[in-house]
Each structure stands twice: as C-alpha cells, then as structure tokens.
Amino acid sequence: QSALTQPPSASGSPGQSVTISCTGTSSDVGGYNYVSWYQQHPGKAPKLMIYEVSKRPSGVPDRFSGSKSGNTASLTVSGLQAEDEADYYCSSYAGSNNFPYVVFGGGTKLTVL
C-alpha cells in the first residue's frame, strides 16, 4: 500500500494532453511544496521530470508540467508523443520527524494510443 495514491493507468492519443493525479494528505502533499515526479521507461532507471511541484530540470521538455491543489498534485503531459509512454511516479516530502522523509505513489502506466 503506497502512501500516495495514483491511478494505475492513464492514456491519450498523440498530440493530446493527459493529467495524472497524486493524492496524499496534509502531512505530505498538502503540507509542503515539495512534490516531485519521475518517469521510468521499461528496463530503465527513473528520471526526474518535475520537482518542487512545478519546476522542470534542465532538458525536460516544457510539455511536462506540474501543479498542486490541496492534498492532490498533478502531472500534465501536453502534446503527447510516443516516447512519453512510461511509468510515472509521484513523491512528496513528508517532514523530517521519521524516515522515510519522502513518500511515493504506486505509479501510473501512461499509454500513448
């Protein structure tokens, strides 16, 4: 049972937009602006796509955007491309009292139709 809740799957056609949700609590997502998103292609390592809710690391296309409202964060992929098909994991800082200080979602498999 993951600490953050993500839909197991999402899909969209090339060129469309798709949004993946990540629901936590006031102790994690809702309490800090420290949500991050990772992309993982099959057999590959995760790659940071979004940090601090909406910031993109250098090299990440601006088709990827992040947002947050209350206890739910979202990753939106605009102008879907075939190479966006992957698993996406959200995570959130959950405070510094006890390990783990960062909690994760169970992942969402994004399919480009």
Shortest Cβ 100–another protein spacing (Å): 5
Shortest Cβ 29–another protein spacing (Å): 13
| Chain positions contacting another protein, by CB under 8 A | 2, 32, 34, 36, 38, 44-48, 51-52, 57, 89, 91, 93, 96, 99-102, 104-107
Determine which helix (DSSP H) or strand (DSSP E) holds 64, and give its type and residue range.
Answer: strand 64-69
User: Is there a contact between 46 and 95 (Cβ–Cβ < 8 Å)?
Assistant: no
Query: Cα angle at 46 between 43 and 49, to 5 degrees?
Result: 135
CB-nearer residue toward another protein: 25 or 32: 32
Backbone angle region of 43, left / alpha / beta, with phi > 0 → left and psi within -120 to 50 → alpha: left
CB-nearer residue toward another protein: 84 or 87: 87
Shortest Cβ 61–another protein spacing (Å): 17
